[in-house]
Amino acid sequence: MELEKHVLIVAGGDGKRMGSNLPKQFLLLDDKPILFHTFNLFLFIKDIKITLVLNSNQIDYWKKLCTSHIFNIPHNIIEGGPTRFHSVKSGLKNISADSLVLIHDAVRPFVSQETIKRVIDMAIRKGNAAPAIEVTESIREVSGSNSKIIDRHKFRIIQTPQAFHASLIKEAYNKAYNPAFTDDVSVLESKGEKINLIKGNVENIKISNPADLVIGKGILNSKY
């Protein structure tokens, strides 16, 4: 029997790093809110179910956006918490334990279908998966006023969506918050689970500051 697939889109961010009063997931990219682009990424998956996690003070604004833009992709809305950890934990309550869940940042509107397919395939076979790309620039480890070169080939940049058998990640989130939990695989890893990395795509940037918006417009205008 094929696993039911569910996407959990986490959109609790604000506009501070953007220098905007508007949360970054609602900023326009090609005349559409970033979040609309993100929803569209997953519509190629048959019978996909989508849950959106928003801060309570953003829900009414989101509903107004959907109405004004005639955005009618079916989805559930869940109220988030004070951190990403708490928001994901809240959203997971809406997802059946016997499904496959993909957890994705709302402000990553350029993940490719190929990356999504690879994540799904690996998670189905091995229980979890996260996309990763190589570090292409020199990096240094800083300690006080000193620094030293680090072998970049030993490191990877981790992206989303991260996919899981829902029963595994729901159980992993049944614990107290730890600042070390920067993403979902780090939560699962804290239970001793091996994390499976798959090839991501370099266009899958996280839009966090004004420069990212400029890059995003370039990606949209490219052959991508």
DSSP characters over 91-143: HHTTS-TTSEEEEEETT-TT--HHHHHHHHHHHHHHSEEEEEEE--S-EEEEE
Tally of helices (H runs) and strands (E runs) in the chain: 7, 12
Distances (CA, A) of 177 to 28, 55, 81, 82: 32, 18, 11, 11
What is the gyration radius of the CA atoms in the chain, in angstroms? 18
The distance from CA 53 to its chain's CA centroid, rounded to whole angstroms, is: 11
Residue 170 DSSP SS3: helix
pLDDT of residue 224: 55
CB atoms within 10 A of CB 62: 20
Owning domain of residue 94: 5-221
**Rounded Cα distance, 102 and 120, in Å:** 8
Q: Are 85 and 181 in contact (CB under 8 A)?
A: yes
Q: Which of 205, 163, 157 has its CA nearest to residue 184? A: 163
pLDDT of residue 162: 98
- Type of residue found at 56: S
**Rounded Cα distance, 104 and 60, in Å:** 22
Q: Tokens 């996407």 map to which residue?
A: 7
pLDDT of residue 21: 78
Q: Are 101 and 6 in contact (CB under 8 A)?
A: yes
Strands (E), 114-185: 128-134, 139-143, 146-150, 156-158, 162-165
Residue 212 DSSP SS3: helix
**Residue 189: CATH number of its domain:** 3.90.550.10
- Going residue by residue through the chain, which has 224 residues, state the pLDDT in tens, using 9 for 90 and above: 688 999 999 997 665 656 567 899 999 999 999 999 999 999 999 999 999 999 999 999 999 999 999 999 999 999 999 999 999 999 999 999 999 999 999 999 999 999 999 999 999 999 999 999 999 999 999 999 999 999 999 999 999 999 999 999 999 999 999 999 999 999 999 999 999 999 999 999 999 999 999 999 999 988 55
Work out how many domains the chain is built from and give that number.
Answer: 1
pLDDT of residue 2: 80
**Rounded Cα distance, 7 and 35, in Å:** 13
pTM recorded for the entire structure: 0.95
DSSP type of residue 24: G
C-alpha torsion sign, points 205, 165, 120, 48: negative
